[in-house]
Amino acid sequence: MQVTGNTDLAIAGELDITCKEGDTFILQLLFKDDNGNLIDLTNYSFAMEVKKRARWSSTILANSVFTFTANANGELDIEADASDMEVKSGCYKYDLELTNNSTGVVETWLQGDFIITSDVTN
């Protein structure tokens, strides 16, 4: 995943995510700058929510269910327990916000569909 600079601050990278209902959620991302250099993510905080629709207040998966692990090599791992992923299958919306802990600047780096498909085994 490459995130690039842009003068349009309303544009975030589009990434649709598909996962299984009731399975452990693990998403591994790699962020690079415009020159292909890895972005040091150790000075950032992360927030992600999944909602039925982008503007709805009803949250399907709250930020608190996700665990974020980041490093200086541009790697961000996002995980949620299988029990938290017991969500009805469907197509939802999400975004991923990063906060620079030094400057306080908050930016949405990713957004898209969060698709949960049915699982056969309980």
pLDDT at 120: 81
Is 7 within a domain? Answer: no
| 11 pLDDT higher than 60 | no
pLDDT at 6: 42
Q: Which of 91, 35, 41, 97 is nearest to 66 (CA)?
A: 97
Is 3 within a domain? Answer: no
> What is the signed CA dihedral for 38, 40, 46, 50, rounded to 10 degrees?
0
Question: Facing residues of 99 across strands?
Answer: 45, 106
Beta 106-117 vs 17-20: how paired, if at all? parallel
- Sheet containing 75-80: order of strands: 25-30, 75-80, 67-70
Question: Facing residues of 28 across strands?
Answer: 77
Is 9 within a domain? Answer: no
Give the pair of three-digit tokens for residue 78: 């996002």
3-class DSSP assignment, residue 84: helix
For 69-108, write each residue's pLDDT tens digit.
999 999 999 999 999 999 999 999 999 999 999 999 999 9
- The pTM assigned to this predicted structure is 0.86
For 88, the domain range is: 14-117
Domains identified in the chain, total number:
1
Give the pair of three-digit tokens for residue 37: 């250099």
CATH code where residue 100 lies: 2.60.40.10
